[in-house]
Structure 1
Amino acid sequence: MNTAVVSEDAQVVVRPLSAHTGAEISGVDLSRPLTRSQIKAIRNALLEWRVIFFRDQFLSHEQHVVFSAQFGELTVGHPVFGHVEGHPQIYSISKFRKETRFEGEPLRRPWTGWHTDVTAAVNPPYASILRGVTIPPYGGDTQWTNLVVAYEKLSAPLRAFVDGLRGVHRFAPPQGAKGTDAFASAVEQHTLVSEHPIVRVHPETGERALYVSPGFLKQIVGLAPRESQVLLELLWEHVTRPEFTVRFKWEAGSVAFWDNRTTAHLAPTDIFDLDFDRQLYRTTLVGDVPVGPDGRTSVSLEGSPMGAAAAIALN
């Protein structure tokens, strides 16, 4: 069945977009406070489909923040790259932003650019909420992949092996590229390095997900460099298999809301070959510290946890 009413009372309608990942939600106005049943229905859809999309939601910064706060505490816009002036919970994602761009051509591999948000922090955001404002008439699509189904599709012996592994995540330019001066300065002032389990147990559902953010995960603890490289490349290639993914075509007023604990996503690069502007804005919600199948939690190697206090301090 292509369309399902999640809650007859809430009239929240969910339309799945692929076999494993992504659903489009209608029947709600995000500019207004949601009812309890609407919040529950949206949360349930998020847990099931990992990323959910809304259309025709023309929100102000203030409305974006109010909507987000109904699902958790907000972080500062970005722990390394800052926030929109006057709106400490909002992060600007612009075609022309410089602080997160790189110089030089990175080594291009199938997983280049894929990432889970801010896994260099010991408690990465549990969710991100991105809204489109200025959208090109074509190009600029974003893709997400389902890290739970990716884990489940590994062979049983490999699942058993990776269940006990841990990896080091940090901010750094992709291989072959060099960070801009602004990037290097921001990272130096706000260094974040954490050790996370390679397999993360979801705190709400108990599902296991391959927590292998290609953009941040640099090495597997305890393995020789070559062993680490080969295993990571195998896992990164695996989690970005097309059948695990969904591709979203943005429109002005579109909103994407994803579970950062069970997804990785790929920002578009084709926009740099086009003359059109592209402007989106993101909020993130405070996350918990990941836990592996063995019960061990993540540990911070450098930097502070992400939290609501940082946003308040900057207000």
Structure 2
Amino acid sequence: MTTVSEPTVTETGVTVSAGSFRVVPVAGHIGAEITDVDLRGEFTADQVAELTAALHEYKVLFFRDQQIGHAEQIAFSRLFGAVTPSHPYDDDAPTEYPEILAVDSRLYEKRFGVRKFSYTNYWHTDVSPLVNPPAASLLRAEIAPERGGDTHWTNLAAVYAGLPDSLKALLDGLRAEHRFGGKNPAWDSESDYAKKVAKAPLVTEHPVVRVHPVTGEKILFVNPGFTTRIVGLSPRQSDALLDLLYAELADPAYTVRFRWERGSLAFWDNRATAHLAPSDLNHLDVTRVLYRTTLEGEVPVGVDGEPSRSISGAKFVGNAGAPEHDAA
């Protein structure tokens, strides 16, 4: 691949990189498709910087027709930060690739005790109960059903920006508890997975509004997959406020929907988004297999400058061998 020159914006709003790939926005508030790129190739520092800037602007980037496997996905991920082990509770990662999390419909019944096509069908930010949730996630499709199975993302910076100032002022000073499993765990209470989580719970109090460490954007940082309560409010008050915020983040105006095909890859800023796994496949006799890598994140900081506080669980750090470009 050639060195990227400064991008230009056409009258149609398509950002074109003159030297190599193109960045094509796909929805009003979130999402861009990256074309004319082969993720197996070499990337210069300028190209990594351009992709990082696009990630921060559009929150999720989509790539199609990528002929890559586990090793190539990990190598591409490392261009943007330290790649973590697959998941705090995962014991199904390929032995030779401990960074790979299998999102595999064939594994879920064994793992959770119920038939599922994804970990959770609630809007969620990946592993937000960690004191340092992942900075970014990359998900690659290996087997995609012919119909159904789409994933949605929502732009939590745009959601916050769309709130009235009076509500922003209230939220800026609040903290919320994030607990792995949330209020309604996705697994059978007697499953091995439930016992694993109970033995080593992940619980953190995060600011309800975090400040993005790169862009400075204020981001609504709650999600129905993992957030259990607003600290300091009664259960009734907490539930009412969270329900209001969840309705805002699910507003289609802030979202984008992605149709998976074999070789598709999505790369999202986990600090500034939540995503929704599919719930339209349980009645179909299909298989869905995707593979995820995650980048080590920092401890969130609120509008008041105060960091998140771990109640249970340590930081989740990347593997040895830091990348040259720690950009995401």
> TM-score surpassing 0.5?
yes
Identity %: 46
1:13 aligns to 2:15 (yes or no): no
Question: How far apart are 1:33 and its partner, in Å?
Answer: 2.3
Q: In the superposition, relative to structure 1, how do residues 289 and 227 fare at CA in structure 2: closer, same or farther (>3 Å)?
A: same
CA contact 2:63–2:265 (8 Å) conserved in 1: yes
Alignment partner of 1:64 is 2:73: yes
Residues 176 and 125 of structure 1, relative CA distance in 2, 3 Å threshold: closer
Please state how far the C-alpha of 1:175 moved relative to its aligned partner: 3.1
Following superposition, the deviation at residue 272 of structure 1 comes to 1.8
Render the CA deviation track for 1:241-275: whole Å, top value 9, x for unaligned. Answer: 01100000001000000000000000112122221
1:38 is displaced (CA, Å) by 1.5
Report how far residue 30 of structure 1 moved.
Answer: 0.4
Q: Which residue number corresponds to residue 245 of structure 1?
A: 255
Change in Cα spacing, 1:60 to 1:269, as seen in structure 2 (3 Å) is same
What is the rounded CA distance, in whole Å, between the counterparts of 2:269 and 2:196 in structure 1? 26
Q: 1:167 aligns with which of 168, 171, 176?
A: 176
Aligned residue runs from structure 1 range 153-164, under 5 A: 153-164=162-173
SS in 2 for 1:132: strand
Alpha carbons 2:183, 2:228 under 8 Å: kept: no
Structure 1: distance between partners of 2:140 and 2:115:
29
Looking at structure 2, the residues matched to 149 and 281 of structure 1 have their Cα atoms a distance apart, in angstroms, of 28
- Aligned partner of 2:213 in structure 1 is 203
Over 3 Å counting, the alpha-carbon distance change for 1:156 and 1:272 in structure 2 is: same
- Secondary structure in 2 aligned to 1:65? helix
- Aligned residue for 1:231, secondary structure, equals helix
State whether residues 131 and 299 of structure 2, in contact with CA within 8 Å, keep that contact through their aligned partners in structure 1. Answer: yes
Note the alpha carbon deviations across 1:97-136, whole angstroms, 9 max, x for none. Answer: 226646599xxxxx96110000010000000000001111
- Give the residue type in structure 2 aligned to 1:253: G
Contact 1:75 1:308 survives alignment (8 Å): yes
1: CA distance, partners of 2:111 / 2:21: 36
Asked if 1:26 corresponds to 2:35, the answer is: yes
- Deviation of 1:207 after TM superposition, in Å, equals 0.2
Letter in 1 for 2:206: H
Unaligned runs of 5+ residues in structure 2 are: 1-11, 323-328
What's the counterpart of residue 236 of structure 2?
226
Aligned length: 305
Amino acid at match of 1:147: L
Secondary structure of the residue aligned to 1:179 is: coil
Shift of 1:173: 5.6
Aligned partners of 2:165, 2:313: CA distance in 1, in Å?
A: 36
Structure 1 residues 127 and 22: CA distance shift in structure 2, 3 A: same
Deviates more, 1:168-177 or 1:122-131: 168-177
CA RMSD of aligned residues (A): 2.1
Deviation at 1:12, TM superposition (A): 2.1
Aligned amino acid, residue 99 of structure 2 = Q
Letter in 2 for 1:259: D
Partner in structure 1 of residue 151 of structure 2: 142
- The AA in structure 1 aligned to 2:181 is A
Structure-2 change in CA distance of 1:176 and 1:89 (3 Å): closer
Cα separation, 2, equivalents of 1:250 and 1:286: 25
- Please give the alpha-carbon distance, in whole angstroms, between the structure 2 residues aligned to 1:4 and 1:174: 42
Conserved? CA contact 1:173–1:179, under 8 Å? no
Q: Does the CA-based 8 Å contact 1:95-1:272 persist in structure 2?
A: no
From 277, 280, 294, the equivalent of 2:287 is 277
TM-score (norm 2): 0.88
Report the AA paired with residue 196 of structure 2. A
TM-score w.r.t. the length of structure 1 is 0.92
1:208: how far off? 0.4
